[in-house]
Homo-oligomer: A and B are copies of this chain.
Amino acid sequence: MTLVALLELASVFVFALTGALAASRAQLDLVGFVFLASLTAVGGGTLRDLVLGQGAVFWVARPQMIGLAAIAAVIVFFTAHLLESRYRALLWLDACALAVAVPAGVGVALAQGQGWPVLLMMGVATGCFGGLMRDVVCNEVPLVLRAGELYVTAAFAGALAAVLALAAGLDQRAALIACAAVTLALRAGSLVFGWKLPAYRPRPPRR
């Protein structure tokens, strides 16, 4: 199994866990868990495959992906009550999912022979859109857009690390690992230490 395929599997499984946790917060039944887990798990990759024009998307070609998301949903359905804070678990699993989905997106675009701008865009889109769909469907303000946190920025920096590593002559494996590491480090640093970029703030009115 290639590294990209492994990253894709991990991304599907971990994003599915976050979707199922969101379902637990909405008190859905087991089928609702599977639905929301699947939507979150394959949302980003579906967008990536559609905009790249690859014909059928990856989970139509490999329906086991939905089976994997369903397994994650069942696990959460029966064990989520053991968690102290389901919201904290969701935040941290989402960070891990982001850190594998971004290199998966970069890897798929790379396999298509795309240039660096498309690598960047596919890394960010694959990483961010699964969680975005989950939050939009649950009618919440998306994590992606929460002020005062690194999220899109972490995804972008990770994709950029991969592009720079490739430009520096590293092989694909090293570039994708660097991508995952940078994404996770920035997102985790934001959750733990409150790292952030300066946000837009309107000037106070002049007196």
Residues of A within 8 A of B (CB): 23-24, 26-36, 46, 50-57, 59-60, 63-64, 66-67, 77, 80-81, 86, 114-115, 117-118, 121, 124, 128, 132, 136-142, 144-145, 147-148, 152-153, 156, 196-203
Determine the chain B residues whose CB is within 8 A of the CB of A148 once the complex forms: 27
Contact in complex: B199, A28 (CB < 8 Å): yes
Residue of B31, B33, B145 touching A156 (CB-CB under 8 A): B31
Residue of B31, B56, B66 touching A197 (CB-CB under 8 A): B31
Complex alpha-carbon distance, A124 and B152, angstroms: 30
Given A60-B53, A115-B63, CB of A32 within 8 Å of CB of B121: no
Determine the chain B residues whose CB is within 8 A of the CB of A29 once the complex forms: 147, 153, 196-200
Contact in complex: B137, A139 (CB < 8 Å): no
Contact in complex: A199, B27 (CB < 8 Å): yes
Q: Interface residues of A: mostly helix, strand, loop or mixed?
A: helix
Minimal beta-carbon separation of A72 from chain B (angstroms): 14
Contact in complex: B80, A31 (CB < 8 Å): no
Contact in complex: B81, A202 (CB < 8 Å): yes
Complex alpha-carbon distance, A60 and B47, angstroms: 12
Complex alpha-carbon distance, A114 and B114, angstroms: 30
Contact in complex: B66, A57 (CB < 8 Å): no
Determine the chain B residues whose CB is within 8 A of the CB of A124 once the complex forms: 35
